[in-house]
Amino acid sequence: MVKAPPGRTAPRGALGQIAARLGAAPAQLDYLVNPDPLRRIAYVETPKVACTAVKAFMQDRAGGRKDGDVHDRATSPLPVLSAMPPSTRRATLSGRWQRFSFTRNPYSRLLSGYLDKIVANDWERARHLPRLGFAPDARPSLAEFLGALARIPEPQRDIHFALQSRLLCLGDIGYGFLGAFESFETDFAEMKRRLYGDASGGSYAAIGKRHATGAAEKLAAQFGPRETALAAELYAADFELLGYPRKLADAALPPERSAPPGVSAHLAARREGLPSPVAGPKAFADALEDRVRAGSLHPLRAAELAARAGAEVQAGAGRSSRITE
């Protein structure tokens, strides 16, 4: 559940425009983006991807964790975006700040979420299942759960089961470092060294053990042909855009990607399922108009994509631009 920290948010609508331009929800941006203003570092969280360990480390460096849940933004020393000045918000998301995150193979991330939120935790089960059309005390199989997820528009799914590529706003937010759960020990150490100048030992991994499900070791037992096909379809964008192998047997392998994703209208269009603005500018423009007309794309989002696509086509694909507010 996304909990708004009491007393720390700006008036309603403070993130409205920038969230609309990113194709994101304001409350999700407030929860998922963890800024460290002193160091100008921002972590964009991907739930079920060692986020407990990463946030604990950042909070320790930003003044120390207080008593309570590391996920409770009300007790975190890291501010929420909506409480920051507009210029700082823009810098956090598209300025010279250093941004990082971690990703996970969609099969193991999905199974970890299912085992943690649907199988093992009565309170979480009762919270999630009614939204999916089940009774609060139901015990849906993984295939039944996936079928229910498929009936919900992706942006309306709980963040633990949402596309990582959408939560990360790939193509709209540029990253200097994007590690992987499959190589977490090495990547976490590299993140600390590169962004914090910290070469000390300790991975913080033990902090998140209460959420651990051993999903990686349970994939073969949980995923048959039907479950695999459903998951591959639901998370096709993550497999493609994050570089993960589609074979279930390869789920423990790190992703194949040459560099962290930067700001790119082409990448943002792929994430949205739109034609490439570089390969087919007219088809891209027509698709934007159709989406806006159908009500499936916010006009501000369409305007942002169109403006950046035009600038990139003119200056050469890959040129980054800043998000406006």
Hey, what amino acid is at 35? P
Distance CA 266, CA 313 (A): 10
Percent of the chain with pLDDT strictly greater than 90 = 77
- Bridge partners of 173? 170
In-domain check, residue 242: yes
User: Same domain for 206 and 302?
Assistant: no
Percent of the chain with pLDDT strictly greater than 70 = 88
Here the tokens at position 273 are: 């399922």
Which of the four pLDDT bands, split at 50, 70 and 90, describes residue 95?
Answer: confident
Task: Single out the residue in 250, 281, 302 at which a domain terminates.
Answer: 250
The backbone region for 160, taken as left when phi is positive above 0, alpha when psi lies in -120 to 50, beta otherwise, is alpha
- Give tens-digit pLDDT for 26-71: 999 999 999 999 999 999 999 999 999 999 999 999 987 776 688 8
Residue 112 in contact with residue 48, Cβ under 8 Å? yes
36-41 LR contacts (CB < 8 Å, sep 24+):
36/61, 36/62, 36/78, 37/79, 37/84, 37/88, 38/62, 39/98, 39/195, 39/196, 40/91, 40/96, 40/97, 40/98, 41/97, 41/98, 41/99, 41/100, 41/195, 41/196
According to the model, what pLDDT value does residue 217 have? Answer: 81
User: Same domain for 213 and 309?
Assistant: no
Distance CA 179, CA 100 (A): 8
Domain that holds residue 34: 16-107+161-165+172-250
How far is C-alpha 88 from the chain's CA centre?
21
User: Same domain for 303 and 192?
Assistant: no
Residue 9 in contact with residue 16, Cβ under 8 Å? no
Task: Give whole-number Cα distances, 70 to 25, 204, 208, in Å.
Answer: 22, 12, 10
User: Same domain for 273 and 229?
Assistant: no
User: Same domain for 241 and 281?
Assistant: no
197: number of Cβ within 10 Å: 8
How many residues are there in the chain? Answer: 325
